[in-house]
Structure 1
Amino acid sequence: MAGTKGQKKKKGILFIPGDSPVHSLDPRTKLLMLVVFSILSFLTTNPFVMCLILACVVALAYVSGLFEKWLYSLRLILPLILFVFVIDLFFSHQSAGAEFFSAQIGFIHAYATEGSLYFSISMVTRLLIIAGFSFLFIMTTQYSDFVKGLQGMKVPHIISFSLGYALSSTTTLSRDANNVIEAQKSRGLEFDQGSSITKIDKLLSLFIPMTVIMLNRSGQVSDAMQCRGYGTAQKPTIYQAPVIGADDGVAVIILVLFVILVILLTHFVFI
């Protein structure tokens, strides 16, 4: 069982079927939540408010029933998180508060203060908010439903199809990459051992197989689109168009109240 679970985790960010309240929401509602959370994360740099927004995203991940898998998926942005934290901590030039570290590296002056620490925490939290809900959106939304939702919003068909296919390709390419890695491991190539430089050299062995896979897949998709007469209909219809229900109305009301709370905290409490 443990080996099976490990294999499932290696598949990357995929849609996982479920009957949770988050799964049942209309794709347009979840897209609205993604936009709102992203905008709210840019309205403030206060760590408390940012953590409050992140807590809301974490709560949604817990309600979806995919908390452990969602948390595991965040490992993909761990290098970026560390990079953002270090850069903002030493090079954001936030001079407020006590100074923890100061050094002259050539012509670069790196220093860490209490203000830069708070700023770096805020930037990392912002990254977690945007990436976290984006991952949750992918894990709880079928790309076909996403396309139907965009078409229901009167988005041009070519745009909705492109965005939907990009969402689908994220999971497909992730699965292909893991298949190539497993195939290379079966040939004796170890990706989990050696230094960082050695690992980078080993990862280059994925470049040619993944390039061939993507070229073949693009040809297959092109042939499939032509066989189905893509682009011949001026006004394509939507089969089983998603319908906004009562759960979506409740979610939007809660979202509006949360936005008001964040604005009040940002402009009247933590000034």
Structure 2
Amino acid sequence: MTELFRARECMGTVISVELGSGGSSTLLDEVFAWFDLVDARFSTYKADSEVNRFDAGSLPLGDASADLRFVLSRCADLWSETDGYFDAYATGRLDPSGFVKGWSAQVASDRLLAAGVTDHCVNAGGDVRLRGHAPAGRPWRVGIRHPWNAQATCHVVEGTDLAVATSGVYERGHHVIDPRRGRAASGLRSVTVVGPDLGTADAYATAALAMGEGGVRWLARLAGYAGVVVTDEGRKLTSRSLSSAA
């Protein structure tokens, strides 16, 4: 299998893209141009980004891009789907980052598939969209980081059409806000959600982490998505459909 690989910093993280047969440097350029556009529109650290201008009231919704309007609409839906635990306004200002990173990688993967690249891996800072097969012709394997040991994995998932998103506190501490209590959530060290859509998986992982230990029961009821959870006490809880590939 012919393969191409590129990685660079973007959107405040490292994004890597691996393409199988049918891939090209031109497609890699297009993928990273897309991520640069997403960064320009949705970065909460750039004063002139669309999301900041909309939040400040200087950009009317009618003048916003179709991407921003879609993200705002989807975040509203996710607020309902998660009983309010996925809240783009949880910090007091608009910050849809808990959806945008996964969504943007999903869009990149969808475009690659439409271009005929059926084997690829898009990894946006640990939010991973996999399709087809790895270079050796085997299903892709994704190691979920051990929340106390950055050099180890606590679980491995394997497949040919997977979205894998992880939200954890091992790098920035308990930074995810429980919007119902208005303070940092606790109880869970990391939450990984696996399913068909990476934007949704990303938001669900954030929501479950915000719920604390109640997120375990909530994840167990989700249709079409599965989870791997590590609690603050070190217990690992895994959906039955996700037997480890390790």
Fold agreement, TM-score > 0.5: no
Larger helix percent: 1
Q: Report the TM-score when normalising by structure 2.
A: 0.26
Q: Which has the higher contact order (CA 8 A, sep 6+)?
A: 1
Q: Report the TM-score when normalising by structure 1.
A: 0.24
* Larger-Rg structure: 1
